[in-house]
Amino acid sequence: MQTVLRIAISVAALSIFPAQAQTLEKIKAEGVITLGYRDAASPFSYLDDKQNPIGYSMDICNRIANAVKAELKMPALKVNLNPVTPATRIPLIANGTVDLECGVSTNNAERQRLVAFSPTMFVATGKVMTKKALPLESLADLKGKSVASPSGSSNIKTVMEQNNAKQLGINISPTQDLPEAFLMVETGRAAAFATDDVMIYSMIANSKAPADFLVSKFAYSVDPYGIILRKGDPAFKKVVDDAFVQLVKSGEIEKLYAKWFMSPIPPKGINLNMPMSANLKRALAKPTDSPDPKDYE
């Protein structure tokens, strides 16, 4: 089934939006650039108390949108916002509905066959969250138990692969999004929740009883995040890459990181207090869109 889905997405990427169509030309002709946002992926992309998309990824995308305005000499270029989910983000980029996906998307080799990525803006590690009553030293400790993870995410794919390869006997439960996966553990319908560490810590911090949860010390993956854009469009990618590199050179990316990971953030004023990792510092020192986890270790 997963293979069929990947083939279907590949066909959509090739047939719905022809490769020769260029994003900058489309944006100029339509007078609008469309940013895809997530509604519950704090602190990267989520809705504030006024239902406006905010977050680290949104700030980066807005800076890129400003660079597009400058490139096209269209200071009044309209910025549209379009919601996406883990399952819809790549098809919506492929068919031209969204020009930039501003969420929490892992850059990997499989996805790079369908879409392109900005230079890496964050490096996460895949971990597992459980209730504290459940001891957890490795994925093998989840044998016979249910593990929730969002459908269409790189995490569910990795856990499935390891589950099958090592015959761990884990029951994997796909969910629509991150909040649903968290809720399944919170309400006892799943024993664990698998996703990137930063998302786990964010959701625990925003939960009703943060002390109830435990995050695994072990990691099952290294996941570089990037902004998704259309594949096969070097002119648009150059604008995106140059805008990101300028954020790094100016030091603004560090300010944005401090704003979202080291300061109180809306709507509850919670501070994740998550210093920039050595992995991300290395990635920013030499900006890259490599999908190879080894380049971030």
Q: Which domains does the chain have, with CATH numbers?
A: 2-121+226-296 (3.40.190.10), 124-223 (3.40.190.10)
Rounded Cα gap, residues 257 and 276, in angstroms: 8
- Name the residue with tokens 């999908």: 291
**Cis? peptide before 53, omega within 30° of 0:** no
152 vs 248, residue with greater confidence: 248
Confidence of residue 109 (pLDDT cuts 50, 70, 90): very high
Rounded Cα gap, residues 211 and 196, in angstroms: 19
Tens of pLDDT along 146-189? 999 999 999 999 999 999 999 999 999 999 999 999 999 999 99
The answer to whether residue 21 scores a pLDDT higher than 80 is no
Rounded Cα gap, residues 83 and 95, in angstroms: 15
Rounded Cα gap, residues 209 and 205, in angstroms: 8
- The confidence score (pLDDT) of residue 1 equals 40
The answer to whether residue 88 scores a pLDDT higher than 60 is yes
Q: What percent of the chain has pLDDT over 90?
A: 86
- Name the residue with tokens 């856990």: 159
Rounded Cα gap, residues 143 and 161, in angstroms: 15
Percentages (nearest 5) of helix, strand, coil residues in the chain: 40, 20, 35
Rounded Cα gap, residues 182 and 189, in angstroms: 10
Average pLDDT estimate for 182-201: 95
Give me 180's structure tokens: 């649903």
Q: Nearest to residue 223, comparing CAs of 127, 82, 148?
A: 127
Confidence of residue 17 (pLDDT cuts 50, 70, 90): very low
Average pLDDT estimate for 217-241: 96
- The confidence score (pLDDT) of residue 75 equals 98
pTM passes above 0.95: no
Tens of pLDDT along 29-39? 999 999 999 99
Tell me if residue 11 falls in helix, strand or coil: helix
| Beta-sheet pairing, 100-102 with 122-131 | unpaired
Kindly give the interhelix angle for 178-186 and 197-205, rounded to the nearest 10 degrees: 60
- How buried is residue 106: exposed, middle or buried, by Cβ count under 10 Å (0-12/13-18/19+)? buried
